[in-house]
Amino acid sequence: MGIIEKIAQIQEELARTQKNKATEYHIGLLKGKLARYRRELTEPQPGQGSSGGGQGFEVAKAGDARVSLIGFPSVGKSSFLNKVTNTKSEAANYEFTTLTSVGGILEYNGAEVQIVDLPGIIKAASQGKGRGKQVIAVSRTSDLIMMVLDATKGRDQRQILENELESMGIRLNKERPNISLKFKKTGGIKMNSTAPPKYLDEKIVAALLKDCKIHNADVLIRDENVTVDDFIDVINEQHISYIKCLYVYNKIDAVSLEECDRLAREENTVVMSCELDLGIEDLKDEIWRQLDLLRLYTKRRGVEPNFGDPMVVRSHSTIQEVCDSIHRDMKNQFKYALVWGSSAKHSPQKCGLSHPVNDEDVVQIVTK
């Protein structure tokens, strides 16, 4: 029996098993096996080489952040890319126009955001249908997934795409569970918690670990609401990606105002019409907000900063990340930094490498 058949068999058993207190342990083990088989499905088989996207499929990373466009064929991904970048991705009213990934740069607020148009996903993409595996593999490298949906086709598209990404270990708009897992050489499996977990116990924790051939580990649970699924994700952490997702409904010109209003009010959602140029600027604003990038202005001693050319860094960056962005050896010559802006207690503030910076701070690096 192949891996896909084993996955189907477990899914069938999960579907027909009633969920109650008596079946919790059995369902937990089934979910653990399902995660293991899905992981094996995504890993390269012997003789196949690496699990890369295939020659010519991946787009080299560029810019300050990457946004991947995910969606079914012919929902408007290529049209959006053509609207906001100088790149031309073939767009048409028939399916599977885009057959490989195409990248372009969106220049916004002084930052360069790489937009990658990926081929349309179809149902069962996570099992290798179409170019689903390559598409999902490229989306793992994103800072933000923009799921482009057809406003005229209801919620089915969104549910199918979420399921495909979930199957491939991509968790949308979720944070890593607050669980610590430390492997040991001896001592067996020990579980501790800051508060008794509601949905986990030592029996299921030990069984899930042993199913993955882990026999010695310390488990610390810091959130009483973590589930079996959360713990399985922590076990398979190197195969799990936590990525922000923005849901974008295109073709709003073809639905009623009431339906458009309903969609627009959903969390992490923007509505647009590429054909009529509606909502494009609002979408750019939301992409910027979701990426949570910081603009910094560097200055030399005695010279005014250039406010027209910001340096862009990730949120929660420190002076050390600023140094690394300028030159990888700069922190070795670092003496101190002078910072003007909202992160400084007074202007300028003399800071060390660990000082966190805020948006639109002015930074002067002083070297030895």
Query: How confident is the model at residue 37, as a pLDDT?
Result: 85
Percent pLDDT > 70 in the chain is: 88
Last residue of a domain, one of 291, 315, 332: 291
Residue 114 lies in a domain: yes
154 SS3 class = coil
CB count within 10 Å of CB 63 equals 18
pLDDT tens digits, 95-117: 444 457 788 999 999 899 999 98
Radius of gyration of the chain (CA): 24
**pLDDT for the residue numbered 42:** 64
Residues 155 and 194 placed together within one structural domain of the fold? no
Q: Which domain holds residue 273?
A: 65-174+240-291
- Work out how many domains the chain is built from and give that number: 3
Residue with tokens 């490498």: 353
| Domain membership flag for residue 196 | yes
Phi, then psi, of 271 in degrees rounded to 5:
-115, 150
Same domain, 258 and 353: no
Is the same domain home to 164 and 253?
Answer: yes
- Regarding whether 115 and 189 lie in a shared domain, the answer is no
pTM: 0.83
Preceding peptide of 196 cis, ω within 30°: no
User: Do residues 340 and 361 lie in contact, with contact meaning Cβ atoms separated by under 8 Å?
Assistant: yes
Least confident of 134-138, 217-221, 234-238: 134-138
Say which residue, 49 or 90, is predicted with more confidence: 90
Strand partners, 107: 112
In a shared domain, residues 271 and 252: yes
pLDDT, residue 54, reads 42
Residue 121: per-residue pLDDT: 63
Task: Please list the residues that pair with 314 across neighbouring strands.
Answer: 293
Closest CA to 86 of 119, 53, 56, 112: 112
Mention every residue, 6+ apart, whose C-beta is less than 8 A from residue 147: 70, 71, 158, 161, 245, 246, 247, 248
> H helices then E strands: how many in the chain?
10, 15
DSSP secondary structure code for residue 305 in this structure: -
Q: At residue 265, does pLDDT exceed 50?
A: yes
Residues 311 and 362 in one domain: yes
Q: What letter represents residue 123's amino acid?
A: K
Q: 278 and 308 in one domain?
A: no
Give the span between the Cα atoms of 105 and 65, in whole angstroms: 10
One domain, residues 284 and 298: no
Q: Cis before residue 73, ω within 30 degrees of 0? A: no
Instruction: Retrieve residue 220's tokens.
Output: 């610390």
pLDDT tens digits, one per residue of 131-182: 556 777 778 889 999 999 999 987 788 998 998 888 888 999 999 999 999 9
Provide the strand spans (E) within the chain.
Answer: 65-71, 102-108, 111-117, 144-150, 170-172, 179-183, 189-193, 217-221, 241-250, 269-271, 293-298, 311-314, 334-340, 349-351, 361-367
Say what the pLDDT of residue 93 is.
46
Instruction: Label residue 49 by pLDDT band (50, 70, 90).
Output: very low
Residue 51 has pLDDT above 50, yes or no: no
CA angle 272, 276, 277 (to 5 degrees): 60
Q: Is 236 helix (H, G, I), strand (E, B) or coil?
A: coil
Q: Above 50 in pLDDT, residue 55?
A: no
Q: Residue 198: what pLDDT?
A: 92
**Partners of residue 70 on adjacent β-strands:** 147
